[in-house]
Structure formats: structure tokens, C-alpha cells
Amino acid sequence: QKIDVEIIYEDEYLAVVNKPKGLVVHPAPGNYENTLVNALLYKFEGGLSSINGIIRPGIVHRLDKDTSGLLVVAKNDEAHIKLSSALKTHEIKRIYYALVEGCMKENSGIINAPIGRHPKNRLKMAVVNNGKYAITSFEVIKRYKDYTFLKLHLKTGRTHQIRVHLSYIGYPIVGDELYGREKNPFDVKGQVLHAGEIEFVHPIYNKLMIFK
């Protein structure tokens, strides 16, 4: 589908896109249209890797629907395999920015808490004893009276990780109706979370790539 998506960088092996808030990354049951994959298939004339099949071509990692920001996609299978391997070994560095509820006292910290499916609500993830290892580090950029602007680094990439971890320590993301408050004074819908930086070694050219 012809959907306007900002391409930050592109070569014959991969592309880095700036996903807008509100756009689902790939088709899923009940939602086969108006996704980032639909947009990229149109933009690149079908030229995406086939590793994840016809539903998720080119998708190496995901962002939630209402999380905006940088996403790397693979345009062929060789690039996809190498990027996926780099993701698993934590060689792809991802920096996020978020506005959270509450004025955080600490200047920085590390949240080390396992994440798994919520025991009662299947739509949610939660910090659970038998969950998967998950680490998020954070630092304060600016404090406001009732809010804090944070820079966050993902060591692991669990589903909803940043959202779950920040809610767990008592600072849910503004606009996050699933893990925080239903309403906020800014009338923002969806979490104020942005993937602002991504850094990785190019899978073919072996060059360090940094995008902000």
C-alpha cells in the first residue's frame, strides 16, 4: 500500500525507517492492511527478505504500534540472518526516550527484572518470577514538577519491556493506557516513547552505522 513512511537510510541490503506513532509494524490476524510492512513492500517493490515469511518480510525487530522511531529492516536474507544474529548477541544498540509520570529522584539506574505474560490479563506482559531475563538502563535528561524525561538503553528486547519495567518501578510512561493511567492532562493517546537512536555494524559492508 502507498503509505508515507520516512526512510532515514537505504542501500541494497537494508533500510532504516522512522516509524510514526500509530502504525502497526506487520500484519496480524484481523489487521492485514495499513502496516509498515505494507508500506515497505510498496516502496521497495517487494524487495524485502523472506526469512519471516509473507506476514513479516524484512522485519528484524519490532516497535509497538504507538512507539515511534528508528527500525532497521532487511532487504535480503543474508542481511536479515546477520542482523538477527547481532540482535540476539546484543550487538545492536538501541536508545529510547520517554516521558514518565512522577519526578524521579535517581539520576540513573538499571532495572533488572524478568518479564513474562501477565498471569491474569493475556494482553499484558508483567514482571514475573519465571519470566525471561530483561534489563533496561535509564538516565534522567530533565525533571519537571510531576514528570521526568528519560533516556533508556535496552540490553534485552522483550515484548513491551520498557513500558513494563517503568511501570514496575512506579514511573509509567505518559499515555500508556495498558501499563499506566487511562487519562493524562495532555490528552495523549498511546505511550510517549520514541526509539531515537540505533547503532549497528553493517552486515555486509562491516561498517559502523549510527542513526539518530
The cell for 97 is: 526516550
Contact between 48 and 26 under an 8 Å Cβ cutoff? The reply is no
48 vs 15: CA distance, rounded Å: 10
Which positions ≥6 away from 158 have C-beta within 8 Å?
A: 115, 125, 131, 132, 134, 164
> What is the chain's alpha carbon radius of gyration, rounded to the nearest angstrom?
17
Q: How far is CA 117 from the centre of its chain?
A: 18
7 vs 147: CA distance, rounded Å: 32
11 given a catalytic annotation: no
- Catalytic residue from among 4, 11, 64, 66: 64
The set of catalytic residues is 64
